[in-house]
Amino acid sequence: MDKELDKLAKENAPLPMGLPAYKQCYYIGARSLYQQYEKGNITLERARQEKQELLRTYKEGEWEWNYFLKLHELKNHFQQLYEDGFNSVLEYEIMEMIEELLK
């Protein structure tokens, strides 16, 4: 989890620009939890429980984002293989990437 995002959320700072969607969601959720707790709208226990859920979805989103980036890289390799013709080194790299994605 990004400690800097948590710090900014606690300070009620504006949403940092250019964040992936999963980080935006975490930031907005964390900022809301801090505000609700400070206003006395939720208990500390409830804030902690909901923060754990935010952290769970952050980790899930981070995994999905990294998976997407790997698939995009793989797509680029396939495109290069198609354009350049078959190349055993590139084919091996692609197979390694597929194996990593399937883990």
- H-assigned helices in the chain: 3-10, 21-38, 44-84, 88-101
Q: Which residue would you say has higher pLDDT here, 95 or 34?
A: 34
97 confidence band (pLDDT: 50, 70, 90):
confident
**Model pLDDT, residue 80:** 78
The set of residues, in sequence order, having a beta carbon less than 8 Å from that of 59 and lying 6+ positions away, is: 1
Contacts of 62 (CB under 8 A, 6+ apart): 22
Residue with tokens 């390694």: 96
Whole-number mean pLDDT of the chain? 89
Q: What would the pLDDT profile of 10-44 be if each residue is shown by its tens digit? A: 999 999 999 999 999 999 999 999 999 999 999 99
